[in-house]
Structures are given as structure tokens and as C-alpha cells.
Amino acid sequence: EIVLTQSPATLSLSLGERATLSCRASQSVSSYLAWYQQKLGQAPRLLIYDASNRATGIPARFSGSGSGTDFTLTISSLAPEDFAVYYCQQRSKWPLTFGGGTKVEIK
Amino acid sequence: EVQLVESGGGLIQPWDSLRLSCAASGFTFSTYFMSWVRQAPGKGLEWVANIKEDGSDKYYVDSVEGRFTISRDNAKNSVYLHMNSLRVEDTAVYYCVRGSGWYDPFDMWGQGTMVTVSS
């Protein structure tokens, strides 16, 4: 099973700041990595698929990069609605697995 | 508007069975893989199972293999999760999700239904 390790566990930032979230895989997943956002009490929402492709309707301030074992989700300037938990997910090898999440909170 | 509406959750005792349902609307259901993903209270996400567009192929995480069965009825635009021999560790919110997570991403999620397994 591929283990995805997300860091940091919690990121405390202010409105307008840049957020950089990391996802590291225990073995290469090529570019088969997605990112999801989950706000409190809500279902997750797809942000990025295949490492760097924004999903429909996702603002341009969200971007994804990386390949192999190291991936980054960047939020260029935090908006109030961006404070949430973010999960990465790999589709390189069964079973599909998710990372443990990074919580982005208001500083 | 794409909608996925789950139902069937509740409080159930260990070893009992439960069937979750998911009603889909707003898209051509029969052309999409469908999945179930769960989230234990205060925890992260765990993929549980998925089913091919025509129901011919099904995949499960090891921890539910042999206990859970995913199925679908394309005439009713619905997908189901039959859960047998439930364990305390199956307690979670169960999300119905469009996509396989493999051939395509999990691009639409329902609001989830809570399953609590407790004596």
C-alpha cells in the first residue's frame, strides 16, 4: 500500500498569505495525484487532479506541482473560504489511498 | 445540477447488516464509475469500494472485502453499499462519489450518511 504523508499537519496563516502544502508518497506515483478540500461539516471537493490540473470551477490561486514522490499544493493568496482541510490521494497503485490531511487555519 | 444523495445510515449493533443507497441526478449515471469513500469521526478519508459503469467490475479495500458489496441499478440511477458483519471500526460517514479514483478523479461527492456501529 502506498502511504501518503502530508505536512505540516496544521498551517496557521493570515488572509492574503501564500500557503504551501506538501504530500510525500512512500513510492513513486508518477503524476497520479489529486488534491481535495474539505470544509468543516462538508463533503470533500476536488481541486487538482493528475498533480497539476485544476478541476472545473477551481480558482486560479490554487495550483499543484510535483511528480514521483513529492507534491505540492499552493494557494497563492489565501481567501476566507480557503480555510479548510486538504487531502492528497494517489491512483498509481491499488488500493487507492489518501494522505492524513493538512489543516489550514486562520492565524 | 449534479446531485448525489445518500440514505440508509443509522445506529447499528456489531455483526448486523445495513444497506446504504445513493440516488444520482443531473448527469448520465450509466457512463460513470461510482465509489464509496468513508471518514471515521475526526479522521481522514478512506476509499471503500467502486463499481464500473455497467456493474461488471467491482473493487474493494482489503478491510471490507468479503463483508461489503457494492452494486448499482442504472435504471434507477442508484448505487448501493451492502454492509454485513459490521464492526465498531466501520463507524464513519459514508460518501457516495462520482468517479473511480483510478481512471478518473473523485469529482463529485454526496453529503454523506453516518453509520454508527455500537453495542
Q: pLDDT tens across B21-57, in order?
A: 999 999 999 999 999 999 999 999 999 999 999 999 9
CA-CA distances (angstroms) from residue B13 to B21, B85, B91, B99? Answer: 19, 9, 11, 31
Q: CB distance A34–B95 less than 8 Å?
A: no
Give per-residue pLDDT as tens, A76-105: 999 999 999 999 999 999 999 999 999 999
- Cβ-defined contact of B109 to A45 (cutoff 8 Å): yes
Instruction: Supply the pLDDT for residue B101.
Output: 85
Q: Which of residues 66-105 of B touch A (CB under 8 A)?
A: 95, 101-102, 105
Query: Residues of A with CB below 8 A from B112's CB?
Result: 43
- B23 contacts chain A (CB < 8 A): no
pLDDT in tens, B87-111: 999 999 999 999 988 888 999 999 9
Q: How many Cβ atoms from other residues are within 10 Å of residue B7's Cβ?
A: 13
B111: nearest CB among A43, A91, A100: A43
> Per-residue confidence at B67, pLDDT binned at 50, 70, 90?
very high
By the CB < 8 Å criterion, does B62 face chain A? yes
**B60: CB partners within 8 A, 6+ apart:** B48, B49, B68, B70
- Report the alpha-carbon angle B28-B30-B35, nearest 5: 100
- DSSP structural state of residue A14: -
Q: What is the mean pLDDT of residues A31-50?
A: 97
Cβ-defined contact of B110 to A36 (cutoff 8 Å): no
